[in-house]
Structure 1
Amino acid sequence: MVRAVALALVVTSALIAASQLMAQEARAPAYVLVQSISVTDQAAFERYQALARDTIARHGGRFLSRGANVQFLEGQGDFSRVGLIEFPSMAAANDWFKSPEFQEAMKVRRTAGEQRIFLIEGRSNN
């Protein structure tokens, strides 16, 4: 009987710890880093920026930084502009990227030049 109670306590403690960890991960922000390698059609690039900006806000994202003032502290890069976007979670960032409206914006972007887009998991504040 004592063993059964002890086992139940261990299992319950493990379940509580796992659920707390999952809740912390769900609250962890995610960051999208966009590197513009080249812009070959400025007008198309500006259309893409306007379309993308609207989709970001609708999916809970916000720009932390964007622009052409990039300083390399070490090494060299082959990009001229960088954007850093924060989303509430990896799921929100993935939903944004896969959304039909952003995929339409990407069609415009592909005619405007070359970019790299990275998704980076953040850490929760807990």
Structure 2
Amino acid sequence: MDENWYRRPIGIDYTIPGYSADNTLIQLQVPERLAVGGNMGTVNSFAGVDLSDLTGGVYNLQTLAQGNNALCFAYTSLLTLTPDILKGVLKDVTGAVNQIVGQFITPQFASLNCPSVKYYNKDIFAKYPGAAGAY
């Protein structure tokens, strides 16, 4: 094992609140980690997406660095994207998503009190090569 890595003691688990606190510290030190967008088809052609356009104004770049918002954004994005990820694999996507979300995802994030995103504007990804049909 690398000398810069160590194991966590049994009983001192790495919890979602602990991860959230660590993630917030990293975001403050490396703000470009929060960039959402894509490559425009050539080298060094990253074009960002305005998160307030994506989330109907619920999240933006400034609010993502506050509290649990980045983790909440990841959680609500996961809820939104899970059906798209599973639709090519399962016949009953709704049943599978409800089971996955109900048993595994929601209980882990319930204590975060995440703001509700009513609508994700997936159309803003249309300008990126390769995004057609991905969402």
Radius of gyration: which is bigger? 1
Q: Name the one with the larger strand percent.
A: 1
Same fold (TM over 0.5): no
- Give the structure-2-normalised TM-score: 0.30
Of the two structures, which has the highest relative contact order with CA contacts closer than 8 Å and spacing of 6 or more?
1
